[in-house]
Structure 1
Amino acid sequence: MKSLLIYGKFFSLTILLSLGLLPLNVHAKGKITATEQISQQMTNSVAAEIAKWQQSQEIKKISKKISLHIPSSTAKLKTCSTALQIEAAKGLPFGRIQRKISCISEGWSLYVRAKVALSAYIPVANKTLVRDEIVTSENLQWKMLPLTASDQDIITDDKHILGQAVARKIRKNKPIRASNLNAPELVSIGDEVIIEAASSTFYAHMTGIAMDAGKQGDAIRVRNSSSGRIITAYPIAKGRVETRF
C-alpha cells in the first residue's frame, strides 16, 4: 500500500508537469538562468538610474518602458553566484543605451543594449512665445511628453522659467530648453532709475539715468541726476539699481 502511494505521488507530479501547472525548473530549487539574472539586474539598474535622474531634475511624474536586447549567447553562460557588476551610467538613462555587464565569479562579461522609452510631466508653453517676451504663469501648462536623447538641457521646473525672457522662439507644447531663455532686461539705456545705497547703518536713495542696459546683477553706468556724477550700479528690479561698497 505504501509503494502504491509513492507511485501515485510520482504519477500526479508527472501529470501536473505535463499540463504546465508546475514550473519546468522545479528540480532546480528556484535557481534562475544567466539570461534571467541579466534581465532582472539590468532592468533594476536602469530603473535606479531613471529614478536618480528624475530626482535630480525635480520631476514629479514619469512613465517608462525598458526593453532589453540580450545576446542569445547568454544561454550558454553559468548563472553568477554573486551580484552582477554593471558599468556606471554615461549620459541620459533613456533612449538607446548600452551597459557592460560582468560576472567576476564565473569570469564572463558582455554588453547588453536597451531601449528606454520615457515620458515626463513637464512645463510647456501653451502658445508660441517669441523673442523678448517675459514668461508668465498664464503662458505655461503641464503635459506628459515623450523625451529623447537630445533633451539634455530641458527645464523641468517652472520656477526656472517664470519671469525669464525668451531668447529663442519657444514652440507650443514642446520642451523648453535653457537656451530658449535669458534673464530679463531690468534697465534700458535712458531709463530713469532709483539708485539705492545701503549698509548695516544707513539707507539712501536718489534718482539717476541709466547709461547702459542691464539684467539682474550686471554692472552698468548710471548718472546721478543731482550731482551729474557717473557711478557703477547693479540692477536689482525693474527701474531699480543698487550701489555696492
Structure 2
Amino acid sequence: MRLPSYVRKPSFPFAAEIWLALCCVLPVHAAVHPIQHSAREQINALVLTAAGHEIDALAQKQQWQDYRYTFNIYIPSTVSTSALCAVTPQVTSSTSAKMALSRMNFVVSCPGSAGWQYNVAVRPDVSVPVVMPKSLIARDTVITADDLQLKKFNISNQREGLMTNMDEAIGLTSKRALQPGKPITRSELVQPILVKRDQPVMIVSHTAGITASMPGVALKNGRKGDVIKIRNSSSQRIISGMVDDTGVVTTLTAEQ
C-alpha cells in the first residue's frame, strides 16, 4: 500500500523547519508531534525520517542548493495484522548509492516474540536547480553565462551527468543543438577547439628549466589536452604536442 509523504527542504546547508503532511493517514497535529497509533503509522514515520536522512546526505555530497523532495512510501498491506510495537522499531537501509534517486529500500523490524518485520520501498521525487539553456543553443557553440539559467527539475530516475553549477558548462562547446527547458548533460558538451588544422600555432618547449617557443603549423584540430601532430615551420620536422591553449601547443619531448 502506498502512503504519500511530502517534505519541503529549505536551502542547503541551512537547517530549517520540515513540513510533513501524511495524507489521509495522520491527523494534522501529528505532523508536528507525531503519535503513532498503529504499526503502519509507526513504520511510516520511521521510514520517512530515514529516507529524508539519505537524501540530505546525498544533497550534501553533491552540494545541491535549494533542493526539495517528496516521498511515496509503500508499506505491505499485511501490516494491518500487526500490533503497535512497544519499543521503537529498528530501521536498516539496503539502498545502493546509485539507486537512491529512483528507489530506496528499508527493513523495519520490531523485536521480541510478538515482533514483526517488513520490507518497505520508497520512491522519491527530488527537485534540484540544474543548468538549462535560456534559449536554443546551436551545435558547436561555445557556451557563455548569458546562454544559461538554473531551473528546478525533478532529477529522480534521470540519467547521470546533470549539472547544478553553471561554471561546469561555461567555456565548453555544444556537441548538438540544446533545447530550452531541458537540462544540459556533461555528455552533450566538449572542450572547444583551440587549435585548427593547417593554421599557425606557437610551439612551446620546456627543457632543463628553459622555455623556448617557435612557430609551427597544426596538422589536425585539437581541444585542450589533445595530443596532435604539428610541423615546426623552421625545421619542417613533424613532432607531437599537447594542446595547451588557443593556438598554443606544448611539445611532449624537447624539440631538437
Short-chain TM bin:
0.7 to 0.9
Percent of paired sites with the same residue: 24
> Where does residue 205 of structure 1 map in the other structure?
213
Q: Pick from 22, 47, 53 the counterpart of residue 48 of structure 1.
A: 53
Contact 1:135 1:163 in 2 (8 A): yes
SS at match of 1:74: helix
Q: Pick from 107, 128, 142 the counterpart of residue 101 of structure 1.
A: 107
Contact 2:51 2:122 in 1 (8 A): no
> Where does residue 10 of structure 1 map in the other structure?
none
Task: Determine whether 1:85 maps to 2:92.
Answer: yes
Amino acid at match of 1:173: G
Contact 1:59 1:157 in 2 (8 A): no
Offset of 1:112 from its aligned partner? 2.0
Offset of 1:143 from its aligned partner? 1.3
Contact 2:131 2:162 in 1 (8 A): no
Q: Which runs of 5+ in 2 are unaligned?
A: 1-26
SS at match of 1:53: helix
SS at match of 1:75: helix
Task: Determine whether 1:34 maps to 2:39.
Answer: yes
Q: Pick from 108, 111, 115 the counterpart of residue 119 of structure 2.
A: 111
SS at match of 2:98: coil
Q: Pick from 161, 173, 188 the counterpart of residue 180 of structure 1.
A: 188
Query: Cα–Cα, structure 1 residues 227 and 202, in superposed 2: closer, same or farther, change >3 Å?
Result: same
Offset of 1:153 from its aligned partner? 2.4
> Where does residue 172 of structure 2 map in the other structure?
164
Give the TM-score normalised by structure 1. 0.78
Offset of 1:122 from its aligned partner? 1.8
Distance in 2 (alpha carbons) for counterparts of 1:244 and 1:36: 66
> Where does residue 61 of structure 1 map in the other structure?
66
Amino acid at match of 2:142: I
Task: Determine whether 1:226 maps to 2:239.
Answer: no
Distance in 2 (alpha carbons) for counterparts of 1:69 and 1:77: 16
Q: Give the number of the structure whose alpha-carbon radius of gyration is greater.
A: 1
Amino acid at match of 2:184: I
Indicate the structure with greater helix content: 1
Contact 1:81 1:105 in 2 (8 A): no
Q: Which runs of 5+ in 1 are unaligned?
A: 1-19, 24-29
Deviations 1:118-175 (A, max 9, x none): 2111221101112211111111111122334124321222222111111132111211
Give the TM-score normalised by structure 2. 0.75
Amino acid at match of 2:105: R
> Where does residue 154 of structure 1 map in the other structure?
162
Distance in 2 (alpha carbons) for counterparts of 1:200 and 1:61: 51
Offset of 1:32 from its aligned partner? 5.8
SS at match of 1:91: helix
